[in-house]
Amino acid sequence: MQLEEYILNNIDPEPDYLATINRNTHLRMLNPRMISGHMQGRLLSLLSKMIQPDLVLEIGTYTGYAALCLAEGLGAKGKLHTIECDDELEDFIRENFRNSPYNQQIELHIGDAKRTIDDLHGPFDLVFIDADKREYQQYYDAVLPKLRVGGLMIVDNTLWNDKVLEEVSDERDKQTQAILSFNRNIANDRRVEKIILPLRDGLTLIRKK
């Protein structure tokens, strides 16, 4: 915690509209820990600015925080698609997008990610996977063919609260099992280069060769 505070005091601040989303998410939402937040958000923003994507895909919008961080790297004609299955979040997400400079460049899809991905056309330059951990492999398999060569996929929660280190993980814990299997598959996938950053809950960066 002390280290996190030190880091936050020595990196760029969040834009005001993101600080507002962060605050309102903690005030109004269940599970506010799901939000990317200040530190991870600044990394997403920086990576996006380095890639300068024309087309971005996010899987798992929640309150829109990470989508807006990723949107910071879009050029004037760039576009970001983000998918969220919980329709009760829709009004809050749309309000958050409207209060940012990127409202016109973001398309929110309310629905199941697996079905929605099939309807979207790439090639994507940048993809952020952050929805149902049990479905990570399916998202990856559906998205990789739509990611351009040299494009970047960022996958959140790949250390899953350090549960990946537990020797015998509970058979019933389907999320941990899925993350373990996903990490193994990515490690062995020669179509991509990969690194796991021990940031927050683990962030895997995957570049398509």
The distance of closest approach from Cβ of residue 186 to ligand SAM in the complex, given in angstroms and rounded to an integer, is 19
Reference 82, options 99, 100, 105; nearest CA is 105
In the bound state with ligand SAM, the residue whose beta carbon lies nearer, of 47 and 113, is: 113
Q: Which residue is nearest to ligand SAM (CB)?
A: 60
The distance of closest approach from Cβ of residue 112 to ligand SAM in the complex, given in angstroms and rounded to an integer, is 5
The distance of closest approach from Cβ of residue 9 to ligand SAM in the complex, given in angstroms and rounded to an integer, is 22
Cα radius of gyration rounded to whole Å, the chain? 16
In the bound state with ligand SAM, the residue whose beta carbon lies nearer, of 92 and 196, is: 92
Dihedral (Cα; 3, 44, 89, 175), 10-degree rounding? -70
Residues in contact with ligand SAM by CB under 6 A are: 34-36, 60, 62, 65-66, 83-86, 112-113, 130-132, 135
The distance of closest approach from Cβ of residue 32 to ligand SAM in the complex, given in angstroms and rounded to an integer, is 10
Give the dihedral sign, CA 100/103/107/112: positive
In the bound state with ligand SAM, the residue whose beta carbon lies nearer, of 119 and 167, is: 119
CA dist 121 and 54 (Å) reads 13
CA dist 36 and 21 (Å) reads 11
In the bound state with ligand SAM, the residue whose beta carbon lies nearer, of 118 and 167, is: 118
Tell me whether the omega of the peptide bond preceding residue 123 falls within 30 degrees of 0, making it cis. yes
